[in-house]
Amino acid sequence: MGSALWSGRFAVSAAESVKNFTESISYDRRLYKHDIQGSKAHAKMLASAGIIPEASARAICEELDKICKRIEKGDFTFTSDLEDIHMHIETELIKALGDEGARVHTARSRNDQVCLDIRLYLREEIVNICDRIRDLQKALIEQADANKRAILPGFTHLQHAQPVLFAHHFLAYVEMLERDIGRLMDARKRLNVLPLGSGAIAGTTLPIDREFVRKELDFPAMSRNSMDAVASRDFTCEVLAALSIFSMNISRLSEDLILWMSQEFSFMSFSDAYTTGSSLMPQKKNPDIAEISRGKTGRVYGSLISILTICKGLPLTYNRDLQEDKEGLFDAIDTVFGVLSVYPDMIRTMTIYPERMLQAANDPGLMATDLAEELVREGVPFRHAHHKVGALVRYAQENNKALNEITLEEMRSVFPEATEAMTALFKPEMAVEKRDVFGATGYKQVEKQLAFWKEHFRETAEN
């Protein structure tokens, strides 16, 4: 992370256009707390190792705390002349302490410094994001629990498939979001490694104590290879990949809800507080929050593709291209926080229309598989049963009848294995109730799923 600002190598200052082109302070200022946290740990280590005086380390740490408070109060000037957050903080330190402040950068480079800052930032933000995702899970569970007898048609190929419980449908997204949390926390484990001490590329000749810094900053491990530590951004790629998958899952949920709110479905409605109107049509109530959330998925994908493209052609070790690693990352995190700031309460305040759902699920054709499985109970191989029921569906269509209007005699004319009980299968409530295997949509199974998630969140809160 070279700069002419602190180098005796250059006879003239950088052109103003270059300063403006190369600055990152406009976005990396958000790393100030983490930069100060890392600098304090580094200064303490330098004193502990006898590289700088104890008094210098104390003065540095005290001044860094003052700088932090100034930034938080808004009493701090940021300028493109100082390029990035590291230079701003170090400059203020030197202004206040003179030569003593200049000791803080001993045995480190901005290369390992920025890697440290990003890792500190991400391990904190990942926890915050996961907490927000859990709130969304809870909102989905609350709606599922409040409407656990509601039945709607499940879809495959966006065609009516089989009756399912609304609660089962929402709990599917709870499962997806749990995997999103798992991916983010897995990424956090891999990025939670101390890079400081790697220097610009090869470490340092000074007798630093990396273990001291590791403990001070609560890292479970430290980087084993200085070149890898400063050159790699795969941890950023991994976080953005996890955020992209989360965004994909939110987009799918949004799509379901947008469809359900349409007049053709009329399964639910959002609160007025989470919809917008039309500039032209007074009657409109649009699911814009869900639509925007769906649209922002592309934005997060863009950040992932950007960092992958940046990294793909870089030789070891640090190259200035890596300055571009942060803007997309910050934008993706802000985008995800934005979605999670509105989505939980949007779910909590939505209104479900169970009668309309049941009406749509009441098509006897949705129970055709149940009929095939009854034939299996009579000893018919499933493939044959599937063919026989398909023939019955064709017969019903040709005779302009619904399946529940077919008589036993008509059914037996298509397959002789038909029984009286088979004519009574075409009720969505029965179809749901009979699906009583682990993970299925049956009433008892969904109750077990709800109980599992409630207990899971109790345990999560306790831990």
Asked if residue 48 is part of any domain, the answer here is: yes
Q: Which residues are catalytic?
A: 157, 278
**Rounded CA separation 325/442 (Å):** 47
Give the per-residue pLDDT at 22: 81
**Rounded CA separation 114/120 (Å):** 10
**Residues 403 and 437 grouped into a single domain:** yes
**Residues 136 and 173 grouped into a single domain:** yes
pTM reported for the whole predicted model: 0.94
CATH number of the domain that 260 lies in?
1.20.200.10
Single residue among 106, 135, 165 that ends a domain in this structure: 106
Asked if residue 5 is part of any domain, the answer here is: no
Asked if residue 356 is part of any domain, the answer here is: yes
CATH number of the domain that 54 lies in?
1.10.275.10
Give every CB contact of residue 144 below 8 A, 6+ residues apart in sequence: 166, 167, 168, 170, 171, 174, 446, 450
CATH number of the domain that 374 lies in?
1.10.40.30
How many distinct structural domains can be found in the chain?
3
Task: Please give the distance of CA 8 from its chain centroid, rounded to a whole number.
Answer: 45
Asked if residue 6 is part of any domain, the answer here is: no
**Residues 94 and 181 grouped into a single domain:** no
**Residues 297 and 200 grouped into a single domain:** yes
Give the per-residue pLDDT at 13: 78
Asked if residue 214 is part of any domain, the answer here is: no
**Residues 71 and 59 grouped into a single domain:** yes
Residues of the chain scoring pLDDT < 70: 1-9, 11
Q: β-pairing, 268-269 with 351-352?
A: antiparallel
Give the per-residue pLDDT at 15: 85
**Residues 179 and 81 grouped into a single domain:** no
Single residue among 360, 386, 402 that ends a domain in this structure: 360
**Residues 353 and 379 grouped into a single domain:** no
Asked if residue 283 is part of any domain, the answer here is: yes
Asked if residue 9 is part of any domain, the answer here is: no
Q: What is the residue range of 180's domain?
A: 111-208+220-360
Structural Rg of the chain based on CA atoms: 30
**Residues 413 and 448 grouped into a single domain:** yes
**Residues 84 and 140 grouped into a single domain:** no
Q: 């001291």: which residue's tokens?
A: 212
Single residue among 321, 345, 360 that ends a domain in this structure: 360
**Residues 92 and 169 grouped into a single domain:** no
Token pair, residue 398, equals 């040709």
Q: Count the neighbouring beta carbons within 10 Å of the beta carbon of residue 142.
A: 14
Do residues 322 and 307 touch, judged by C-beta distance below 8 A? no
Asked if residue 181 is part of any domain, the answer here is: yes
Q: What angle do CA 92, 94, 95 make, to 5 degrees?
A: 60
**Residues 98 and 127 grouped into a single domain:** no
**Residues 298 and 418 grouped into a single domain:** no
**Rounded CA separation 67/80 (Å):** 18
